[in-house]
Structure 1
Amino acid sequence: MCGIAGIFHLTTPKPVDPARLERMCTAMAHRGPDGQGTWTAPGVGLGHLRLSIIDVAGSPQPMASTDGRAMLVFNGEIYNFRELREELRGGGAEFHTDGDSEVILAAWQRWGPDCLPRLHGMFAFAIYDLGQRTLFLARDRMGVKPLFYAPLSDGSIAFASELKGLTAHPLLRREIDPLAVEDYLAWGYVPDHRSILQGVHKLPAGHSLLLRHDAPLPAPVQWWDVSFAERRQGRAADLEAELLHLLRQAVTSRMVSDVPLGAFLSGGVDSSSVVALMAEASGSPVKTCSIGFDVSALDETSYAEQIARRFATDHRARTVSPDDFEHVETLAAMFDEPFADASALPTWRVCQLARETVTVALSGDGADEAFAGYRRHKFQHGEDRVRGLMPQALRGPLLGGLGAIYPKADWAPRPLRAKATLLALTGTSEQGYARAIGVLPPELRQSLYSVEFLRLRGDYRAEQPFEELMRRAPARSGLDRAQYADIKFWLPGDILTKVDRTSMAVSLEAREPLLDHRLVEFAAALPEALRLKRGEGKWLLKKTMQRYLPDEILYRQKQGFVTPIAQWFRGPLASAARGIGASTALARTGWFDSRVLADMAEAHIAGRADHSRMLWQLLMLDKSLAQLGIS
């Protein structure tokens, strides 16, 4: 796991100042504490930070190909590099290291851009081909590893693993994109189709970019996609056996490491499944760690301890308390862009705990998206049935009217909180799912914005690209389209961003075996009833894991990595809630109605409503603006 950076001149191949590359890399030093290097040639420069995982003593970067005609900087891991190396050797390639970086170079020289489908792993890399005078940028299928890039005023393109690598370049302009603020308020993060800074782009997951001197900046090219349009045939028992094989393959391939390795363990189905398969494949106790909360209703450490005992792991646990709120500045600095998934705090804490004993940790991320494990998938499936029974011309006026007058009963038992469901049913399947996955709905965002910001936003709504993504999905059903959007939009924008930044902040490599692309492709082709059956999500996965895990782990109510911010804002953090509307960076933007923000803060503190997610979003936006130097 590493950090990469570079500069490429599209027009005149001007010399690249190595000092600029070094500043860009130094800004991301946490991504690679084991080494730093730069390389320059006319019109191009590459920088690299190394966290040694495979071939610890060798494989320095930037790395030259055997014939010296290509240079590579690479962030990630290629899990099938040994098999690829043997195949390439059979074609005459020579290797001088034991790592995966040299394999990527040889694969590029053999197959060019067509090397990408052969690479199994997580990666973002750049290859400069001296013969072709091209720069090739690529990002892995799921978007596990990030890559930002931006055109600059001197005719160059700068790229880096994190936005802070780009902001270290003196020519990068720091102007906020108001549409990114709209996106952020809707989703709680800035999705991959946009950046908080105007002119900065993110290379989308499963895409590549081929740059040439004396040629304009091209559009990224998609090299991988997942399809929900096919359905696997066969008996459930045979599909279960195939799933178990894929799970074992995904886990064992990610256990290859020349440094200490362990796993995150929450006690949920996904992390417990990973730990069970690691224990099966390991000759020594698996090192596991978990984070708990000092709010008992949200604490899952007892389930993690149960799994740790079951598989005799070397387990460690730690508790997060409200005092950790003092680290909000640190969190904002990790993400550069505003990021409001409050589970980032405990994720960072569990990464810190893991890094005390290991350098690599396997996580359970990805199964909910691939196998329909979220509660919202069950609701979406049911709501689509209602939509099929009642035409929208009838649903809109009838249910929309009920939704408008139904109280937002945050205090009520869950079955009585019908407002969101009624509003979701008024529109299309895509509109309903956008509401389900979003944080602040359109009408609430509208009430927060100032007149000036509404002018800046214009006709754009954050839900528009999301709904279009669902409409264009290679899928058969509403559930298919929802899962497709999860994998293409939510997963890289929220979940994988959270894990990458929090793990890299402590120089820890996180690996996600349940996002092995063969496993995801298999899950996408399963009949709906093997993903969501009688209201039970991840049905085939849970049935497959019954041989390893008890029912009280497999079938207990999903809880997730929840942070008790609602309680915090009503207790020790109440003063922070009251100060959000008057905070310096946010107040100076003039984007929000400060009176509305103050009223919502008081309603939350008094317990009349739950505005904790909105308060957290605004707080993290304020801190992010300050980190970017926006005032």
Structure 2
Amino acid sequence: MYAIALYDSAKNELLLSRDPFGIKPLYLTEFSGGIAFASEPEVLLAAGLSPRTLNTQARTELLQIQFTTGRNTIFEGIDRVLPGETIRIVHGSIVERQTRPALPAVTRPLPMLSEEQALKQLDHAIMDSVQAHERADVPFGLFLSGGIDSATLLTAMQRLPRTAPLKTWTAVFDAPNAANEAQTAATLAHAAQAEHETLTLTAPMVWAHLPAIAACMDDPAADYAIIPTWFLARKAAQDVRVILSGEGGDELFCGYGRYRTAARPWWRGGRRMWRHGMFDGLDVLRTSPKNWREGLNAAEHTAHAGPTKLSALQALDIAEWLPNDLLLKLDRCLMAHGLEGRTPLLDPALAACAWHLPDTLRVQGNKGKWLLRRWLEQHNPAAHPFAPKQGFTVPIGTWIAQKGHLLGALVAQQECIQAIAKPEQVKMLFKTADQRKQGPAAWTLLFYALWHRAHIRALAPDADVFDTLSQNP
């Protein structure tokens, strides 16, 4: 992982470069004095090098799919250096762009591996990657959800020699019927003789810190998984400086349900990614531009170069969802607490190993991550990799509904919300946020209202969510 700036003063030449998966962020803006770059848009804004002006197309994307795509950020005039891109700048002007792809090109059918052969290759790749990612002269630990990806990392770490116990952390929510795998995580950690902590998150804790959580996402991703990630980072920062995390496992090894559809024969159909936006059918937004999918359409066009329908869908996730939501969330939440994040499943050799698997070793029947599950079954059967997934759900919709009358009124009175949504419909949305479709939409508006205060209006997040939204709406 890297985000690099190299300056040759003799030639007045600057190189900006970012790792192929986009693990580390990098941004630039062009202005009258040349080009400025930073690892966060807020640095460019605070320095007065770019105005705090919204890119309305990106805002619509954020509302509809909870993140933004492509080169343009939500700030007019600030661009991303794309994953794998190297930009050459001479005398303040961009003269060349080159891209190093995250995934190896596959233009022909791959030789069929037996499952046994594939497992051996996968084992070498996993162990080499985890061993390399453990190298540190400071304490490190692992975010352990109890799912396949983090259990894979724990299993590999357990097999490596060490001089001190592993440190692991899991989040659980204090809410009725909140799905979690905390007990599974604790059992696995105990078996690995890890020093394990389970962090229980309550609604009052979230309301107290949500303005700060939203503020740390200057390049916004309204993924409510930022909540447990931020709290886990705050807790882990008391003991370690480096965190290993399982991002990339779903995208490379086919963990999402939509991949199971894509793996079917063509005549059984499939799903288009993000066919519908978050607010479609809710009658909440004042206008609903039909072009909000333009960024995704462009990414899909490129991704369709994959050799199979399944790999094309994976390639789209890897190009957009992974860097602009999942990795962004991890980087911002960890850096907010002075932690470095490492993602062993995105090691180039391990990613290439996964990418060269035939579809039959990625998905079988109703099980994605087939080969990764088989590897885990071999090396840590106590992880029960083929057991039904309990899931990990943030009960944000339930919590919003419990405070729906108050929160709905506060969000509806924000100028930034009134500009895009109907106030009375917003209030109703928050009161019904415990419903499946209404919950994510209400959360997205709440996040956007808090984010807008921090990064468009430049107001410090110095109070809880209720007091923050009550001040200068």
Contact kept, 8 Å, 1:228 with 1:480, in 2: the verdict is no
Give the equivalent residue in structure 2 for 1:188: 66
Answer yes or no: is 1:178 the counterpart of 2:178.
Answer: no
- Find the residue that maps to 1:440 and give its secondary structure: coil
What one-letter code is carried by the residue in structure 2 that aligns with 1:526? L
* Alignment partner of 1:440 is 2:278: yes
Q: Do the aligned residues in 2 keep the contact of 1:360 with 1:510 (CA within 8 Å)? A: yes
Residues 404, 430 of structure 2: 8 Å contact kept:
no
2:430/2:442 contact within 8 Å kept: yes
What letter matches 1:264 in structure 2? F
Q: Distance in 1 between matches of 2:203 and 2:267?
A: 42
> How many pairs were matched up?
452
The question of 1:223 aligning with 2:61 is answered no
How far did residue 294 of structure 1 move?
1.0
1:157 equivalent among 16, 29, 35: 35
On the 8 A contact 2:18/2:86 being kept in 1, the answer is yes
Q: With structure 2 as the length reference, what TM-score do the two structures score?
A: 0.90
Larger radius of gyration: 1
Q: Does 1:463 align with 2:293?
A: yes
Deviation at 1:547, TM superposition (A): 2.1
Residue 169 to residue 249, structure 1, CA distance change in 2 (3 Å): same
- Worse overlay, 164-173 or 575-584: 575-584
CA 1:530–1:248: 2 relative to 1, 3 Å? same
Q: What secondary structure, in the 3-state scheme, does the structure 2 residue paired with 1:373 have?
A: coil
Equivalence map 1:2-13=2 (5 Å): none
SS at match of 1:537: coil
Structure 1 residues 517 and 577 mapped into 2: Cα distance closer, same or farther (>3 Å)? farther
2:458 equivalent to 1:628: no
Q: Is the 8 A contact 2:376 2:383 kept in 1?
A: no
Distance 1:163 1:329 in 2: 18
Q: Assess, with a 3 A threshold, how the Cα gap between structure 1 residues 356 and 622 changes in structure 2: closer, same or farther.
A: same
Q: Is 1:365 equivalent to 2:247 in the alignment?
A: yes
Match among 610, 613, 629 for residue 440 of structure 2: 613
Amino acid of the residue matched to residue 623 of structure 1? L
Partner Cα separation in structure 1 for residue 342 and residue 380 of structure 2: 22
In structure 2, what residue type is equivalent to 1:538?
K
Residue in 1 aligned with 2:354?
Answer: 523
Q: Distance in 2 between matches of 1:600 and 1:353?
A: 33
Which residue of structure 1 lines up, in the alignment, with residue 462 of structure 2?
none
TM-aligned CA deviation for residue 595 of structure 1: 3.3
SS for the counterpart of 2:178 is helix
| Aligned residue number for residue 535 of structure 1 | 366
Give the CA deviation at 1:382: 4.2
Q: Distance in 1 between matches of 2:432 and 2:197?
A: 39
Q: What residue in structure 1 maps to residue 121 of structure 2?
A: 242
* Cα 1:573–1:550 shift into 2, 3 Å: farther
Indicate the RMSD between aligned Cα atoms, in angstroms.
Answer: 2.2
Could you tell me how far apart the structure 2 residues matched to 1:202 and 1:309 are?
42
Q: State the shift of 1:582 in Å.
A: 2.2
SS in 2 for 1:144: coil
Which amino acid in 1 is paired with 2:127? R
- Give the match for residue 389 of structure 2: 558
Counterpart residue number, 1:601:
430
Change (3 A) 1:219 1:448: farther
Q: Which residue of 2 aligns with 1:141?
A: 20
2:302 is equivalent to residue 472 of structure 1: yes
Give the secondary structure class of the aligned counterpart of 1:211. strand
Question: Paired residue for 1:166?
Answer: 44
Q: For residue 288 of structure 1, what is the aligned residue in structure 2?
A: 168
Q: 1:308 to 1:126 in 2, by over 3 A?
A: same
Encode CA deviations 1:91-143: one digit per residue, 9 max, x unaligned: xxxxxxxxxxxxxxxxxxxxxxxxxxxxxxx1101000133321000000110
Residue 228 of structure 1: how far off its partner (Å): 4.9
The corresponding residue for 1:254 is 133
1:491 aligns to 2:322 (yes or no): yes
Indicate the residue corresponding to 1:547 in structure 2: 378
Deviations 1:311-330 (A, max 9, x none): 11111121011112221210
Q: CA deviation at 1:494?
A: 0.5
* Aligned equivalent of 2:334: 503
CA distance in 2 between counterparts of 1:276 and 1:514 reads: 13
2:466 alignment partner in structure 1: none
- Aligned residue in 2 for 1:347: 229
TM-score w.r.t. length of structure 1: 0.68
- Secondary structure of residue in 2 paired with 1:333: helix
Q: Given the alignment, which residue of 307, 328, 334 partners 2:210?
A: 328
Deviations, residues 263-318 of structure 1 (Å, cap 9, x unaligned): 11111111011011111113232111111111253232101111012111111121
Separation in structure 2 between the aligned mates of residue 575 and residue 553 of structure 1, nearest angstrom: 43
Distance of aligned partners of 1:287 and 1:602 in 2 relative to their CA distance in 1, 3 Å threshold? closer
Residue 85 of structure 2 corresponds to residue 207 of structure 1:
yes
Counterpart-to-counterpart distance in 2, 1:516 and 1:180: 30
1:188–1:439 CA contact under 8 A, matched in 2: no
In structure 2, stretches of 5+ residues that fail to align are 458-472
Report if the CA contact (8 A) 1:580-1:615 is conserved: no
